[in-house]
Amino acid sequence: MKPIAIIAEFNPFHQGHDFLLTTLRSHVTTTTPLIIILSGSFVQRGEPALFTKWRRAAWAIQSGADVVLELPTVYALSAAPAFAAGAVRLAALIGCQQLAFGSEIGTAHDFYEIYQKRKKIEQVPFSPGNYTYGQYITNQLRPLLTPTQQKMLGSPNALLGIEYEAARSTYASKMELYPILRSNRHDSMTIEKGFASGSLLRKAFQKNDTAFLHAYLPPIVKNDLNDIRSQGEYTDYTRYGDFILYALRQQSLDTLRTLPAFSEGLEQRFLHIVSHSSTWHDALCKLKTRRYSYRRLCRMGSYIVLHPAASLFQQAYKEGPPYARILGLSPVGRKFIKQSSAVIPYVSKIPPFLKQASLYAKEMMSLDMQATDLQHLSFVGSPFHTGNIDFYHPPYILPD
């Protein structure tokens, strides 16, 4: 039995995710634990998830996953290398021996070769010029690769797979990569081979395109959407953006410099542009340059409103995850947890954990709870605007 980790957002859980879990299950026994490392209340592109982490965990467990663990917010709101490293380290700390992920192209050997060649290039000092560091690495790397590997450099999931390989090589060398070919990109805005991307489905949900959603979502998700919509249990991104505008207008240059990623004078540009913008979307359009992607700017927006210290991110990157927060369990998952030789504690109830946690773990957990409260405060439905949700919301448990 080799526990398999899958790093995911499931925002929402769709037919492509169902295909991934079904494919994995067809290659292993029914008692092989499938462990989901799930971005929690915020996702890596730098904004609240559209749906709660407990809804998404329940969808995963009902579709064949055995354990859903929350990726701490520090890693969920980091650029791809730190995001991948945090998730891979969490998987390794609880005993996962394989890491499965969807990729548009590439084998495990391709990911290994690309990373090994990239690592050699990264050892040579970089002289800033007309390229960013990332563009420089890509330009140096491309001539060294096979045609298939060159195509991987233009595929977002494959690029993330390279970061998984980097993290595996650094922190979990005995773990095996298990790429599964997917038919479309995660951000595709067109239907490809019968699958719709998460981006397309989120847009359809926000437009209330029920017919489209029902055509491309599994039954367990379709059955929940009416309740979610009628209750307003989903994120209003305009409302969230207003929180960023307000929070930034209370900041000084000195306080912005204490946040992650605010350097190179960008904090001055943020203050000037946001103070003259009527919406967060308008500010993003003005802030966007070739050097600063929307994802990076959105993550910086989340730092403004959540206000984490840059030092916490630095400590998290150095020390790794200090706990494994349980969001969902199947019967197989409960057995896995009971027999697990994890070297970090599992957390199902927050209060008893905080009584004995280190200061570092408390700060990490505090940011997770802040993220959940902010996501819920951004929901359409006012009944969800209460705080401290993490204190009393239990994991989703699938009965025997």
b/e per residue 343-361 (b: at least 16 CB within 10 A) = eeebbeebeebeeebeeeb
Please report the DSSP string for 70-97 in residue order.
Answer: EEPHHHHTS-HHHHHHHHHHHHHHTT--
40 labelled ligand-binding: no
Q: Where are the beta strands (DSSP E) in 9-116?
A: 34-39, 42-43, 47-48, 67-71, 98-103
19 labelled ligand-binding: yes
Please report the DSSP string for 348-389 in residue order.
Answer: S-HHHHHHH--HHHHHHHHHHHHHHHHHHHTBSSGGG--S-H
102 labelled ligand-binding: yes
Contact 196, 216 (CB under 8 A): yes
243 labelled ligand-binding: no
User: Which two structure tokens, joined as six digits, stand for 395?
Assistant: 């994991």
Cα separation, 156 vs 115, in Å, equals 15
182 labelled ligand-binding: yes
15 labelled ligand-binding: yes
Query: For tokens 């400590």, what's the residue?
Result: 315
281 labelled ligand-binding: no
Contact 83, 76 (CB under 8 A): yes
20 labelled ligand-binding: yes
Cα separation, 99 vs 2, in Å, equals 10
363 labelled ligand-binding: no
Contact 175, 88 (CB under 8 A): yes
Strands 324-329 and 47-48: unpaired
CA angle 181, 16, 378 (to 5 degrees): 125
64 labelled ligand-binding: no
| Nearest-10 crossing angle of helices 237-249, 359-377 | 120
Number of residues assigned to the chain: 400
- Residue numbers belonging to the annotated binding site for ATP: 7-20, 102, 157, 182
- Residue numbers belonging to the annotated binding site: 7-20, 102, 157, 182
